[in-house]
Structure 1
Amino acid sequence: MKDVFARLASDLLSVIIFLAVYLLTDNVILATAVAIAGAFAQVIYARLKGQPLHYMTYASLALVIVLGGITLLTNDPRFMLAKPSIAHFAIGAIMLKRGWMLRYMPPVIVETVPEYVTIAGYAWAALMFVIGAGMMAVAATGDLKLWAFYLMVVAGGAKILAFAVQYFVLWLIVTNRRRAAARA
C-alpha cells in the first residue's frame, strides 16, 4: 500500500508543485514553469538513480509539457489542473481489462472468488472515470481551492473508501464460502 501512495504522489508531483507555487505567488507563468522543471527533474533524478521509468512516467511528463505549454500560452491554470483528470481517464481505461486486479490479490481470494475480483476491477475503472469527470468539472471552474479540496479530499477519500469497502466485501464473501465448504 505504501508503494501505491508513493507512486500516486510521484505521478501528481508536478501538479502539487504547480498548485503550491501558484497559491503562494498567484503567478500562473511561474507556477507552470516550475511544474515543468519539476517534472523534468523527477525524470532526470530517476535516471540518475537507475530507477526504471514506466509508461505512466513518460505520459505524465508529456502531459505536463503539453498542458503546461498551453497554460503558458493562454495564461489559464485550468489546463494544468486537467492533468490529473486525464491520468484518471487513462488509468480507468487500463482497468477495463478483464481480470487486471487478480494479480494484486492474495491467493486465497483469487482461488475463492475470482469472479468478484473481476467485478471489483470494473468498479474501480468506473470510479476512476467518475473521479476524472468530477475533477475536470471542478478544474473548469478555475477555483484552485475547490480543485485542491476535490483532488485531496474527495478523490483521495473516494479511493480510500472504495479500498476499504472492497476489502470488507471480499473478506466477507471468502469467509462465507469457506464456512459453507467446511459444512459440506
Structure 2
Amino acid sequence: MKDIFARLGSDFLSTIVFLVLYLMTGDVILATAVAIAGAVGQVIYARYKGQTLGYMTWASLGLVIVLGGATLLTHDPRFVLAKPAIGHFAIGAIMLKRGWMLRYMPSIVTETVPEYVTVAGYAWAALMFVLGAGTIAVAATGNIKLWAFYISVVLIGAKLIAFAVQYVAFRVLVTQRIRAAARA
C-alpha cells in the first residue's frame, strides 16, 4: 500500500507542486515554471538512479512541458489546468479493454460473478471519461480555486464513492450467488 501512495505522489508531483505554489503565491506563471522544472528534475533524477522510465512517465513529462509551456507563453492557466483531463481520458480508454478488472479482484469475486466485474470495468471507464470532461469544463473557466477544489475533492470523492458502491454491490452479489448455490 505504501508503494501505491509513493507512486501516486510521484506521478502527481508536478500537479501538487503547481497547486501548492499557486495557492501560496497566487502567481500562475511561477507555479507553472516550478512545476515544469520539477517534472524535468524528477526524470533526470530517475535516469541518474538508473531507473527505467515507462511510457506514462514520458507522456506525463511531455504534457507538463507542452501544456505548461502554452501557459507560460499565453499567461493563460487553462492549458495547464487541462492536464489531469488527458490522464483521465487515457485511463478511461485503457479501461475499455474487456475484463481488465478481473486481475484486481479477489478470486471469490472472479469465480462467482465475473460478468459483473466486466460491467464494473466499463462503468469505471465511463466514470473516467465523465471526470475528464468535468475537468475540461472546470479548466475552461480559468478559475484555479474552483479547479483545485474539483481535482482535490470531486475527482477523489467520486472515485472513493464508486469504489464503495462497487464493494457493496460485489459483496451482495457474491453472497446471493453463494446462498443460491447452497439452496440448489
Deviations 1:82-122 (A, max 9, x none): 00011101110111111111111111111111110000000
Indicate the larger mover: 171-180 or 40-49: 40-49
Shift of 1:51: 4.1
Indicate the larger mover: 1-10 or 19-28: 1-10
Structure 1 residue aligned with 2:54? 54
* SS of the residue 2:12 aligns to: helix
Q: Find the aligned partners of 1:138 and 1:6 in 2 and give their Cα distance.
A: 27
Structure 2 residue aligned with 1:87? 87
Structure 2 residue aligned with 1:112? 112
Does the 8 Å contact 1:71/1:80 carry over to 2?
yes
Q: Find the aligned partners of 1:121 and 1:168 in 2 and give their Cα distance.
A: 15
Shift of 1:5: 4.0
Structure 2 residue aligned with 1:70? 70
Gap runs ≥5 in structure 1? none
Q: Find the aligned partners of 1:91 and 1:2 in 2 and give their Cα distance.
A: 22
Shift of 1:2: 4.9
Q: How does 1:1-184 map to 2 (within 5 A)?
A: 2-184=2-184
Q: TM-score, normalised by structure 2?
A: 0.93
Q: Find the aligned partners of 2:181 and 2:64 in 1 and give their Cα distance.
A: 52
CA distance 1:172–1:137, shift in 2 (3 Å) = same
Q: Find the aligned partners of 1:49 and 1:108 in 2 and give their Cα distance.
A: 41
Q: TM-score, normalised by structure 1?
A: 0.93
Q: Find the aligned partners of 1:172 and 1:70 in 2 and give their Cα distance.
A: 49
Indicate the larger mover: 108-117 or 36-45: 36-45
Q: Find the aligned partners of 1:162 and 1:51 in 2 and give their Cα distance.
A: 34
Aligned residues: 184
Q: Find the aligned partners of 2:161 and 2:182 in 1 and give their Cα distance.
A: 31
Does the 8 Å contact 1:139/1:147 carry over to 2?
yes
Indicate the larger mover: 135-144 or 42-51: 42-51
- Aligned letter for 1:15? T
- Aligned letter for 1:10? S
* SS of the residue 1:76 aligns to: coil
Does the 8 Å contact 1:64/1:83 carry over to 2?
yes
Shift of 1:40: 1.4
* SS of the residue 1:96 aligns to: coil
Q: Find the aligned partners of 2:4 and 2:132 in 1 and give their Cα distance.
A: 18
CA distance 1:101–1:130, shift in 2 (3 Å) = same
